[in-house]
Structure 1
Amino acid sequence: MDPKLSSLNAVLDRVDSRLLNPAADVRLWSTGFPLLDDALGGGLRAGTLNLLAGSQGEGKTTFALQLARDTVRAGQPVLFFSFELEAEVLLQKLLASEAAECADEAPATVYQVRAAFEGTDGIAGGLVERLGRLPGGLDALSRVSEYSEHLMIHRSTTLSTRLEDVHAIARDVAQQAGKPPLIVVDYLQKVRPTEDMDEEAAVTLVTERLKDIAIDLNCPVLAISAADRAGLEPGQRMRARNLKGSTALAYEADVVLILANKADIVARHHLMYSANNGEHFRNYSVLTVEKNRSGRTGAEVEFLKQFASGRFVPEGKVVSEDLVDERVFTE
């Protein structure tokens, strides 16, 4: 019998077995952001394609990496396909993020950790000696060491990392780990199919296949998505329709999340009657749940940005101000 074919009786038995032994079959991956988990109905689900979009510089990679870090700390492997940044750069962000949780005051910044990695900090020795001079540095190194083996970074390129490679590598990681990983793709439009085709057809195929990979490996896929030109222009708040390349992105995805600078989307009257013309709004990103097949859609949560530490403060809050579809500038 085809292993993909299940009677409802077999499904009932499988669910009952999972409930009696939860560790045997994880269906939910917590994001590490409690309010986001609540909006998504518990977290990212096995077999789903989740898209994360936003304007340039709004912290999409930082958000995805922080989510990956919380996943691996919870005991699940993570496979991160990085088309944008070197593994060392991602590691520097992780160390700074951990330092921010360990140090009481003035934790090591991403800049300071980078200087330690590059040997430009004026200190002799290896990482232990160099990070030991930074507040929270050694504790951060110890924390990262606890999960570093299970957070795998694949340095990806459009020339060498094709769609088939993503599937094969993810399958290998799942076999080696003994359980499916969270798969992060940074970012989707840089994945190329083997066949030559125009951008819209390529994005459609990649989107469909990433969803197939999630179903095949019984894991969530989190893919960062670029926006089209209209979604980046002043006066236009990014929406699911602005995902670059194909309408299949919004259609095929189970979850669509969009990050925006709060100052750009908050209603004008909040800026007019706020101290400093609402300049403090720029310190927050609003994460909007544009689509959610397993929970409520339209949830809007804000998170304080701490980009010097390579992180968002995970304890966000529901947006209380009125938001608009147009970006608002105060200059």
Structure 2
Amino acid sequence: MLNTRSKVVAFILALGRRLAGLLCVLFGVSLITFTMTYFAPGDKASAIAHARYPDVQGFPPEILDGIREEFSLNEPFFVQFFQWLYRFIQGDFGNSFASNTPVWDIFVGNAAETLSLTATALVIGLFFAFALSSIAVWRPGSMFDRASVALASIGAAMPNYWLGLLLILLFAAHLNWLPAYGTGSPSHLVLPALTLAFWITASQTRLLRAFFLEAKAAPYIETLRLRGVSEAEIFWRHILRHASVPALTMIGLDIASLLEGTVIVELTFARGGIGSLLAGSVLSRDYPMVLFLVLFSALVYVFINSMIEILQEIMDPRVSIWSHQQSVPSGEARS
């Protein structure tokens, strides 16, 4: 009973440390991002005025003073920062400078496009990475194994925007099978998803192959063969389980990096989504939108890493979050 209670206490403490670390990361990201937007060159009031009225060339000082008063631009740096942070914590993410529309409404309208793109690319990329690495491990050094390694190396060295342009040139310009840009139908999703999926396949194929080969070379694998266990059972029950723990970490990093790749792909294919929204907000100096999207990206990155750690702890109890909290005396362990 005492041991169970100590485990619960250790788990709560570890969870509290993770939550505190998450809050510190988000606070640091928000402070750095706000600082960069605050000291960005140019007059914010003029940028807001031009975003709201793009056809107007010049603005009288009264209009600019009214905008500065509306957005508290005359306040000191830390006053502006903590005012924005207080509203942000309450769920008030502000209005876009360009359209005067709530940031959250604009974000929700674009999030579905990015989610569909990343989910499709992730499923396709991981499927082919697992298939290529699994088949290659059966015969290391074979032609298929060397071809898989070569394909992964080429994919790792190929920029997303260049691959996207090649796919547009082949399937849209020459063959006229698929649309080159835009959103609105499943056919518009094919080329962007393949562009991101190829990068995931290239990245994960090399890693999964290495993890599978390391697990296959473990001494207990040969013991299982001597006992008459089939190769299929050895792979699915032992090699795959042994390799899945380190593979989860790398898959989690690639999932978090998809946000970066999505920005390039959405711009290449002129798609709506979080990536193109972030790029457009930076160019138009829409600071409330930029701050929200940067914090959202940081939250997603930290959340994915935390989920991967939890999955690792479930699959491998040796990396349990409370294992370092408990030390068994050597004399008690020997007894």
TM (normalized to structure 1)? 0.23
TM (normalized to structure 2)? 0.23
Structure with greater strand share of residues: 1
Structure with greater helix share of residues: 2
